[in-house]
Amino acid sequence: MARSKLKKSLRTARFFSLVGVITLFVCLSLSQLVSSTKLTPAIAEIVSAGLVIIGWVGMWRPIESLLYDWWPIREQRLIFDKISNLDVEVIGAKTSKATGT
């Protein structure tokens, strides 16, 4: 179950990365387009900088997913792997003739 959860987390992180890269590409392209228009230089600079910021903020979650989100799941999986390799001894309870149990 932990392996499945880890695979799903990494698959989601890859999807987030694709969406983030596309968002960054579109925002940086629009920023260049705005910079080359005949808008007032101050307005063009503000809009251009805003688009760059939006593009990088769009990469925030994908980067977080790829760098940090999978570590707790991996640690859990390692613990489960260690537990699954432990030797287990089952000891039955003694029954008492006096109580009938």
Categorize the per-residue pLDDT at 25 as very low, low, confident or very high, splitting at 50, 70 and 90. very high
Mean of the per-residue pLDDT values of the chain:
86
Q: Is the pLDDT of residue 8 over 90?
A: no
Q: Is the pLDDT of residue 19 over 70?
A: yes
Residue 88 vs residues 1, 80, 81, 83, 91: alpha-carbon distances, Å: 21, 14, 14, 10, 10
In percent, the amount of the chain with pLDDT more than 70 equals: 93
Count CB neighbours of 71 within 10 A.
11
pTM of the predicted structure, to 2 decimals: 0.64
Question: Residue 13, class by beta-carbon neighbours within 10 Å (0-12 exposed, 13-18 middle, 19+ buried)?
Answer: buried
The helix, strand and coil proportions of the chain, stated in percent and rounded to the nearest 5, come to 75, 0, 25
Categorize the per-residue pLDDT at 57 as very low, low, confident or very high, splitting at 50, 70 and 90. very high
Q: Is the pLDDT of residue 37 over 90?
A: no
Of residues 42 and 6, the one with the higher pLDDT is 42
